[in-house]
Each structure stands twice: as C-alpha cells, then as structure tokens.
Amino acid sequence: MKLTLELPRHARANVWLDDAPRATYAATSYLGRTLAPIRTIEPARRLAAIELFVPHGPSLSYALLGAELVMAESTDLEVSVSVSKEGPPLISPLTGKLDRVSIGLPKEFAQAVLDGAARTAQELGAPTQRKLLYRWAAHGFVSSSPTVFENASAMVLRFLTLTENDLEAQICRILSS
C-alpha cells in the first residue's frame, strides 16, 4: 500500500506500508545498535517506508528511507542500517527537477538513522524481540542531511506500529509532529 500526501508548508510525502519503494541497494557496510525501548509496542506490519520532501525556502530537505522488522532472539530491538556507495538515480523522486536523487544511503547519514530509531524508542516505545533493518534508501545531492534522515527514521519506526484504524489520519499526525 502506498499513500501520497500533500502536507502543510508546501511539503509532500509518499508512505509505503507492508510494501517497499523501488530503492533497494547493496550494502557495503552496516551500522548497528541495540535499543531498549521505554515500552514495548506490538508491531502491526513488517515493512514501512517514507519519501519526504520539505522545503525551507533557499533549501529543501529530502530523504527516502524504508525498513523491515524481523523476529530476533534478543529481548530488545536490534537496529541495523545498511550503508552503501552512491547508486543509480531514483526514478521520479518527489524533488522533481530540484535535485539529483540517487538510490543508497551514504555513511554520513547512517548515524542519524540510528538516532531517529532511538528517539522513537525512547520517547514512545517500539517493538522488542525484533531486528529493525533499514535497507531501502535514496538521497539528494543537495537536499539530504542528517536531520531529514533522523526524522524519516523516527517516522518509519512509528509506521511499523500503526493499527488499521483511521490509518491516513494517524500518518498525517506523525508527519506533522
């Protein structure tokens, strides 16, 4: 399932639930951390992703990030971020012609992805006894930053726990928070 959303402040987003964007890549390395969430939230789905476009005036923020949740023996939440070199161009990114978007996640954003997951786990809670694998990504040559990847990561983890009730409203609340 893919939702396309027009957001306040000229922003827009694509959200995938139980589905993945066409932005797979081969990892050259991994960055990982084990999180102990403030409380356990049962996962409602296995896959989630977001493509985010947020204008700031002279610049804009762009990120595409997706993750898969799989069972693990750990009692906590193990997070793994796939790092890559710059890949091929992403087809039809939300930036349009405003930036050049490539598939993959450069190392400079990997820590921010971990930080975003940690933020959600600490502030709201997250699934436990699971591995969270961030393995879909795309980034803009000009418009990507640690901030936008941290926010995207925090949102993806929240999407994985969304129930089916009033799904679009829940997503909009997350995107505007």
Partner 1 sequence: MYTIVQIPFGWANCPGTHCSWLKEAGALAQGPLTVAGGAFQTAGAAAEQGIQITEEGLAAVIDHLAQFGEWPANQAMIDRLSAQLGEVVTGADANFYTHELMEANFMGSGMTYDEAHTLAIQIEGVSPFSLYHPEVIEQCPECFNANWRAYWGIDQ
Subset of residues 104 to 133 that bind partner 1, contact rule: CB under 8 A: 106, 108-109, 112
Nearer to partner 1, 41 or 94 (CB): 94
CB of 108 to partner 1, least distance (A): 5
Are 170 and 2 in contact by the 8 Å Cβ rule? The answer is: no
Are 69 and 132 in contact by the 8 Å Cβ rule? The answer is: yes
Piece of 23-31, 33-41, 145-153, 154-162 that binds partner 1 (CB under 8 A)? 145-153
Piece of 21-29, 42-50, 54-62, 66-74 that binds partner 1 (CB under 8 A)? 54-62
Type of residue numbered 124: L
CB neighbours of 173 closer than 8 A, spacing ≥ 6? Answer: none
173 binds partner 1 (CB under 8 A): no
CB neighbours of 20 closer than 8 A, spacing ≥ 6? Answer: 47, 49, 66, 68, 136
Task: Locate 48 and state its tokens.
Answer: 């989630």
- Return residues touching partner 1 (CB under 8 A): 9-10, 55-60, 96-98, 106, 108-109, 112, 139, 141-142, 144-147, 150
